[in-house]
Structure 1
Amino acid sequence: MVMKGLTLRGLEVFEALARTGSVAQAAEITGLSQPSVSQQLRNLEKALGTDLVDHGRRPMRLTQAGRSFLARAETVLAELQMAQSELTVMDLGHLTTLSIGLIDDFDNDLTPRLATLLADSLTRSKFKLITLPSLDLFEELEAQRLHMVVSAHSGEVFEGVVEYPLVQDPFILVTPKAIENPTRDLPFLRYAREQLISRQIEGHLARQQLEFEERFEIGSHLALMAMVARGLGWAITTPLGYMRATRFHDVLDVHPAPFGDHGRTISLFTRTDLAGQVPQEVAGMMRRLMKSQIIDPAITKLPWLSGRLKVSD
């Protein structure tokens, strides 16, 4: 039996406060007034019989009890969001076939969940789901071998293609742990030039007139993160990429990118003749999955990403 006073809204408010340390920011995230945020926190602490935050410090800091409770609260909220996604699965039974391509940024958690949810909806359909690099996905879409693709936006305008933005994914700097001047003392580990993310990063560096020696060019994202973790250099990636490299998090430091607050947009693309309810519903499912599986955990780990890494409307 859930104790009296322990509410879902209270958990959401506490998670937002823990992430930001600010009543004002928590109010903005939850859509409540600042007095309501404070009242929700007091109600939660009363129900639990302990202080979750140090009320005498600004920004707010979690108490030991608060840190322990946060891990449980995040698990509960993540499971509830997944349950919501599963309950709002669309009925795709009328389709005879559906083929979707995704970038490999989601291979760890999101792609398996998406495949399961879609397969449950496609009761009488042929279903194909593949992962490819962004540029290859656009070729498959143009050749009409895929109905939809989820990819980083290349900056090009594609004739006959409709875009449904999903996530704003900012660029970040990833360095070995506790290195004082990594961009000065260590080499830049680049993505392979053939990759879209490499072209986007190099473009931002060029606009800021930032030049680094060309020594390493790596085509595998996890290999790139492993090299940073071993102290062989530093890299520019995105939160979606960083969250795939969980095994290395203990030996990596993460900072804003050195060329300002820029990033990439992850979108769902489909051909004009296929636009409509189905891609809209798939995009909605993708946004919910991305928020629960990637964005919320990333912001909890790196609170300064709040407002930068976000679901697109």
Structure 2
Amino acid sequence: MSEIGFDLKLLEIFISIVECGGMTAAAQKLGLTQSSVSQGLANLEQNLRIQLMDRSHRPPLLTPLGRQFYEQSAQLLNRARQVSLEFRRKEQTPLKHVRIALVDSLATSVGRELLEVVKQRTAHWSLTTGQSHSHADALLSRKVDIIISDDAIANHPELYRRQLIREPFVLVLPKGTNSAPPHTLQQLSTSLDFIRYSQGTVIGRNIEQQLQAWGINPPHRLQLDNSFAILSMVKAGVGWAITTPLCLLQAGLLSGEVECLPIKEGNFYRELTLVAQAKELGSLPEQLASDTVNILKNRYLPILQNSAPWLASGIQLGN
């Protein structure tokens, strides 16, 4: 028994004795034996070190302290029942307000369809986009409830996470550049400017780490913080970039405005993961994860297979 001196079961026994007018009736109501009810009352009195009922009367009567305890414990038990009912219902009905943050590329490419399923799952919601590192901070500080990000926040095992998509990074060149001999990244670094993602972005840091692993360090001249700006500069012939198919779709450049090629140095990938507070949202994170995978399968993959079929085989949906 904790320092409180009672648990809700003992309170329920005591309140039932008072309200039913005796131990026999209370035992019938609770589905217990009369001896269990009597022992429960005795344990409660022993833990509290007060006499709650005068057993010299039939049925037993409340003592003055017992009456005070009854009034307060009845309120406490009623509140506990309300809390239990409220959170059992949350598993069956939409939550009141769910705050979601996701990467720009997903919001732009399949955002409308994703919002439709969010509306079906929740009665009230809000959605923000932006850079992944800010979403991770917002989740950990409980400013949002769910994120879809390329930062899976791996060092927090208490969080729910499910991978939604694994997509390859690709080389993007201005239109017509591919008519020259095959390009290596080192060759490109000496002939065209590399248009970087900002180091403040998760995708930018991942690309830089991979370039360093390959021993490639293009001059630091152009650094932008979003895919649309980067790919618009590639389209204008300013330089080359490394990005992903979803980012190309976001910028509307899967229809031939730029050259999209495999990276000769090797394959590396971006993973988008749904991450949420694990114990507070019931089945909602798993439902939204499955919904998002289905949207990507039915909305995104057909576009990719039509415009860049060689890329479609490198896409993995779900875990």
Written as runs of structure 1 = structure 2, the 5 A alignment for 1:9-20 is: none
Q: Partner letter of residue 163 of structure 1?
A: R
Once the two structures are superposed, residues 17-64 of structure 1 have per-residue CA deviations (whole angstroms, 9 ceiling, x without a partner) of xxxxxxxxxxxxxxxxxxxxxxxxxxxxxxxxxxxxxxxxxxxxxxxx
**Cα distance, 1:304 vs structure 2:** 1.6
Q: Distance in 2 between matches of 1:296 and 1:276?
A: 32
Q: Which residue of 2 aligns with 1:199?
A: 205
- RMSD over aligned CA atoms reads 2.1
1:136 & 1:202 partners in 2: Cα distance?
19
Residues 109 and 246 in structure 2, CA contact (< 8 A), matched pair in contact too: no
Aligned equivalents of 1:159 and 1:254: distance in 2?
37
Which region of structure 1 is more displaced relative to structure 2, 207-216 or 270-279?
270-279
Q: Kindly tell me: are residues 217 and 270 of structure 1, through their superposed partners in 2, closer, same or farther at Cα, counting changes over 3 Å?
A: same
In the TM superposition, residue 292 of structure 1 has moved relative to its aligned partner by: 2.1
Match of 1:118 in 2: 118
Aligned residue in 1 for 2:246: 240
Q: Give the Cα–Cα distance (whole angstroms) in 1 for the partners of residues 318 and 120 of structure 2.
A: 26
Q: Which amino acid aligns with 1:130?
A: T
Tell me the residue number matched to 2:104: 104
**1:134 and 2:132 are equivalent in the alignment:** yes
Alpha carbons of 1:209 and 1:111: their partners in 2 closer, same or farther (altered >3 Å)?
same
1:152 aligns with 2:158: no
CA change 1:155–1:109 in 2 (3 A) is closer
C-alpha distance in 2, partners of 1:102/1:140?
11
Deviation at 1:293, TM superposition (A): 2.1
Instruction: Sort the Cα spacing of 1:243 and 1:103 in 2 relative to 1 into closer, same or farther, 3 A.
Output: same
> Structure 2 CA distance, aligned partners of 1:253 and 1:282?
34
Equivalent residues of 1:161, 1:269 under 8 A apart: yes
Judged with a 3 Å threshold, the aligned counterparts in structure 2 of structure 1 residues 165 and 189 are, in CA distance, closer, same or farther, namely same
Q: Distance in 2 between matches of 1:132 and 1:245?
A: 15
Using the TM superposition, give the Cα deviation of residue 97 of structure 1 relative to its aligned residue in structure 2, in angstroms: 2.1
CA distance in 2, matches of 1:139, 1:266: 16
Instruction: Give the structure 1 partner of residue 309 of structure 2.
Output: 303
Aligned-pair identity in percent equals: 23
Give, in angstroms, the shift of residue 156 of structure 1. Answer: 4.0
Partner of 2:173: 175
Larger radius of gyration: 2
What per-residue deviation string (whole Å, max 9, x for no partner) do you get for residues 185-209 of structure 1? 2111101111110000000111111
For normalisation by structure 2, the TM-score amounts to: 0.64
Aligned length: 221
Relative to structure 1, the CA distance from residue 272 to residue 118 in structure 2 (aligned partners, 3 Å threshold; closer, same or farther) is closer
Structure 1 unaligned spans of 5+: 1-90
Shift of 1:258: 4.2
Q: Is the 8 A contact 2:170 2:260 kept in 1?
A: yes
Structure 2 residue 237 is matched with structure 1 residue 231 = yes
1:162 to 160, 163, 166: 160
Correspondence for 2:284: 278
Query: Is there any run of 5+ residues in structure 2 with no aligned partner, and where?
Result: 1-90
